[in-house]
Amino acid sequence: MMYKNRLTAALAAMLAAMFFSCTGTGTPGESPEAEFCAAAHDSVTVSPITDSAETETARTEAETVSTETVSTETVFTENEATEPVTAESATTELPAEIPEETAAPQNTETIISIPKLRGMTRTEAEQILCDAALTFTVTEEYSRTANAGIVLSVRFYGEVGADAYSVKPSHPVELVVSLGVRPIVNVTALDEKRVYLTFDDGPCAGTDKVLEILSEYDVKATFFTLGMYTAVYPERTKAISDGGHLLACHSYSHDYNNLYQSAETVLDEIESWKKTVEKATGAAPETVVFRFPGGSTTYYMDDNRFEEIFWAVTDAGYRVFDWTFADNDRYPGGKTESQTMEEYLMAATVSSLDNCEAAPAWPKIMLLHDTSDETVAVLPWIIEYLRGEGYSFGTLDELEGYWIFER
């Protein structure tokens, strides 16, 4: 019995010794292995996972991070180098290279290469398109310089190379072909003995007297007015219209530098003029007749700019008229040294009309200025002289088309 108790005590002592050997001499639980583990994970926060639900949450977050990392990568396919495809819809594991059979779908439409057609004749261009089995349409339009039948431009789907077009055959090619230089065909006189008196640059103080004289002689005339003056003198503007005369446009400002910048500036001034006339009279004329300040041959427009402006104005529905004779009240020069200004204006009227009559197809359009006191003074004589020559009087809206100087 005593032996049994001693054995039990010995076993207890051995177990105690073994226990203190494992825990070391320090505080229980801080073994050398535990110190090593803590040093190795100082930069990592390890959250203990206590149950299966927390384990599933941790796995999901890790997968989300992995997916976000992949989704920020950009994958370029060979035919879409300028249009990157993001991998948001890709799997989380991407191969280093995309196999050819898994690359993005390619555009398999055939591209047909043909020579550049611009500048060719229509016949040559059409033959090339037919040989290439390309469908096409043809649009014709006037040109400033190209002869009729020359290809002005080509419209198609594809690309323009240095020497050729790469054309997608799924869309028709459109050829724009020249009809030639757009002709300017002046109106011819409907009646060789019909004259059209025209007064430029008003309304003004002289307009009142002119209207009085015209009424006295029962003559109708055309007044090429300026918008800046129809705005200032609405009563005179309305008096022109009420007298049965034609209110016509001579621009708004008569400022050559601003007016002739472009077709748009001319059209803008016509529109501004129309608004002032409508305000003064209640309605703009149904037919808008226009005269270029300085005439159509003014040096403020070169040939190219003139054609651009002229066709823009006529295409907008306005009718352009220069003149075919005048009393020359603007440019007497030194010709009045031996005669009065009135005598000069009468002599100029006679000689100018003689020149105009030498071209029987020309309408007889007389240029006058109601801003000239001398013209107002000789107006009765001019009317009587023209009537004596067998002329009747009308307004320019009687004529179809337009009449301008040759450039």
121-134 mean pLDDT:
96
pLDDT value for 330:
84
Q: 310 and 248 in one domain?
A: yes
Provide CB contacts within 8 A for 30, sequence distance 6+: 23, 24
Q: 367 and 343 in one domain?
A: yes
The domain tally of the chain equals: 2
Coil, strand or helix at 199: strand
pLDDT value for 107:
57
Model confidence pLDDT, tens digit, residues 2-46? 444 444 444 444 444 443 443 443 333 333 333 322 233 332 222
- Looking up residue 285, the CATH number of its domain turns out to be 3.20.20.370
Boundary (domain end) residue, out of 155, 181, 207? 181
Provide CB contacts within 8 A for 311, sequence distance 6+: 182
* Residue 153 forms part of a structural domain: yes
Model confidence pLDDT, tens digit, residues 46-60? 233 333 333 333 333
pLDDT value for 234:
98
Nearest to 346 by CA among 324, 370, 321, 368: 368
- Yes or no: say if 181 and 145 are a contact pair by the CB < 8 Å rule: yes
165: which strand partners?
Answer: 114, 160
* Residue 80 forms part of a structural domain: no
Model confidence pLDDT, tens digit, residues 87-125? 333 333 434 443 443 444 555 678 999 999 999 999 999
pLDDT value for 335:
66
Model confidence pLDDT, tens digit, residues 135-192? 999 999 988 778 999 999 999 999 999 889 999 999 999 999 999 988 888 998 889 9
| Percent of residues, the chain, with pLDDT higher than 70 | 72
- Yes or no: say if 209 and 217 are a contact pair by the CB < 8 Å rule: no
Q: How far is CA 341 from CA 213, 330, 378, in A?
A: 20, 11, 10
Boundary (domain end) residue, out of 157, 181, 205? 181
Predicted TM-score (pTM) of this structure: 0.66
Provide CB contacts within 8 A for 268, sequence distance 6+: none
Amino acid occupying residue 275? K
* Residue 140 forms part of a structural domain: yes
- State the Cα–Cα distance between residues 35 and 29, nearest whole angstrom: 10
Count of Cβ atoms closer than 10 Å to residue 241 Cβ: 17
Q: 253 and 391 in one domain?
A: yes
Q: 264 and 176 in one domain?
A: no
- Looking up residue 148, the CATH number of its domain turns out to be 3.30.10.20
Boundary (domain end) residue, out of 128, 152, 181? 181
Q: 166 and 124 in one domain?
A: yes
- State the Cα–Cα distance between residues 329 and 199, nearest whole angstrom: 11
pLDDT value for 407:
78
Amino acid occupying residue 96? A
Q: 250 and 129 in one domain?
A: no
Q: 238 and 153 in one domain?
A: no
Amino acid occupying residue 273? W
Residue in the structure block whose two tokens are 């004529």: 399
Amino acid occupying residue 158? G
Average pLDDT, the chain: 79
- 285-289, 329-333, 340-344: range with lowest mean pLDDT: 329-333
- State the Cα–Cα distance between residues 237 and 211, nearest whole angstrom: 11
Q: 168 and 146 in one domain?
A: yes
* Residue 62 forms part of a structural domain: no
Q: 124 and 232 in one domain?
A: no
Q: 265 and 309 in one domain?
A: yes
- State the Cα–Cα distance between residues 195 and 185, nearest whole angstrom: 20
* Residue 44 forms part of a structural domain: no
Which domain range does residue 374 map to?
Answer: 194-398
Q: What tokens appear for 351 in the block?
A: 């000689």
